[in-house]
Amino acid sequence: MDRVGDIALFLQVLDHGSISAAARHLDLSVAVASQRLKRLERDLGVRLLHRTTRRLHPTPEGLALAQEGRALVEELGLLGERLRQRGGEVAGTLRVTAPASFGRQYIAPLMAGFLAAHPGLRVSLDLDDRVVDLVGAGFDLAIRIGRLDDSDLVSRQLVANERVLCASPDYLRRRGEPDGPAALARHDCLLLTGRDGRRELWRLGDGNGGTVDVRVRGRFESNYGEVLREAAVAGLGIALHSVWHVHRDLAAGRLRVVLPGHPPPPSGIHAVMPGRTLVPPRVRAFVAHLAAHFAPPPWGAAPGGPEASDARGVARKSLKPL
């Protein structure tokens, strides 16, 4: 029951002297207004009005409700107005969750400028590679990389997530370069583990516009991408990495692109929100801030050594802002 609304109707009846006048003022039918007043009396268990042929008179209980209820209705009205004003401002606390490495490298550095632009805002940034329940954990926004599970959440892709196979020059000197996707089965591959198990099935381009799945194996695995990057630099094997994660290593020659003619299909980097409607201004502002920052992506194209000129060309064509 909308008890506060019914009390507000009762007050309008007292102010206007009749149910019909109050109904016209509130754009209600007289029948609906009368039913709501009867419902209020029934739920409170008291008679609020004496009805005569000429006008309505409040009972003692009605007078008590009018005295105390008017302050309540007015305070709720003021509260609603304050909330509407606050709802139009980029203010309050913005709670964001992001993958650890990506959040540290690309989200955390954006906070200084965003907070400077919005002095009334607080930000809580949680860095965690686990996929958390946004609604249950109270987050306004999540940054998620890769394929999104079907859910009631709303997402916006911020930028394409280009990926490469890469290994250190030392590893490639010792083990040789694979000449095609099938040759990966003879190499040590660095495997990412997660909530869906060991990711030992790699999907690569087949060189003809399609894809091919290759089952790989290796002697080292981890659930943390930064550890796998360090393992690849140390020469422990071939890794599948996002360009944003290894672009500095590729540019410095610590890593080289492997199988440049068979790049993994790109995925996406997304801003994920609990809903599409009534999105707080703080969330809209931050998503716009991210979208502007990632167009074009700050990591640029995928650099490589002299042997990886084809890979540089592929990356330069594919890393387009969305």
DSSP letters of 131-157?
A: ---HHHHT-SEEEEESPPPPSS-EEEE
User: Are 138 and 177 found together in one domain?
Assistant: no
CATH number of the domain that 285 lies in?
3.40.190.10
Q: How many residues does the chain have?
A: 322
**Is residue 313 a part of any domain in this protein?**
no
Total structural domains within the chain: 3
User: Are 286 and 143 found together in one domain?
Assistant: yes
Q: What whole-number distance in Å separates Cα of residue 166 and Cα of residue 191?
A: 13
User: Are 148 and 183 found together in one domain?
Assistant: no
CATH number of the domain that 14 lies in?
1.10.10.10
**Is residue 60 a part of any domain in this protein?**
yes
Q: What is the pLDDT of residue 148?
A: 79
CA distances from 91 to 13, 115, 165 (A): 39, 10, 43
Burial class (CB in 10 A: 0-12, 13-18, 19+), 209: exposed
**Is residue 321 a part of any domain in this protein?**
no
Q: What whole-number distance in Å separates Cα of residue 97 and Cα of residue 313?
A: 34
Q: Which domain holds residue 280?
A: 92-160+268-293
**Is residue 243 a part of any domain in this protein?**
yes
Q: What is the pLDDT of residue 12?
A: 85
User: Are 15 and 66 found together in one domain?
Assistant: yes
Helices 3-16/19-26 angle, 10° precision: 120
Q: What is the pLDDT of residue 240?
A: 96
Side-chain-side CA neighbours of 150 within 13 Å: the count stands at 0
User: Are 28 and 67 found together in one domain?
Assistant: yes
CATH number of the domain that 179 lies in?
3.40.190.290
User: Are 56 and 141 found together in one domain?
Assistant: no
**Is residue 320 a part of any domain in this protein?**
no
User: Are 261 and 167 found together in one domain?
Assistant: yes
Q: What is the pLDDT of residue 41?
A: 87
User: What global pTM score does this model have?
Assistant: 0.66
Q: What whole-number distance in Å separates Cα of residue 242 and Cα of residue 184?
A: 18
How many helices (DSSP H) and strands (DSSP E) are in the chain?
12, 15
**Is residue 34 a part of any domain in this protein?**
yes
Mean pLDDT by runs of 10 across the 322 residues of the chain is 79 84 85 88 86 76 84 74 61 90 95 92 91 85 84 86 96 95 95 83 90 94 93 97 95 95 92 80 92 90 40 30 26
Q: What is the pLDDT of residue 54?
A: 66
Q: What is the pLDDT of residue 180?
A: 94
Q: What is the pLDDT of residue 312?
A: 30
Last residue of a domain, one of 39, 54, 87: 87
**Is residue 58 a part of any domain in this protein?**
yes
**Is residue 183 a part of any domain in this protein?**
yes
Residue 123 DSSP class: E
User: Are 255 and 201 found together in one domain?
Assistant: yes
User: Are 221 and 199 found together in one domain?
Assistant: yes
Identify whether 296 is preceded by a cis peptide bond (ω within 30 of 0): yes
User: Are 129 and 222 found together in one domain?
Assistant: no
Q: What is the pLDDT of residue 311?
A: 32
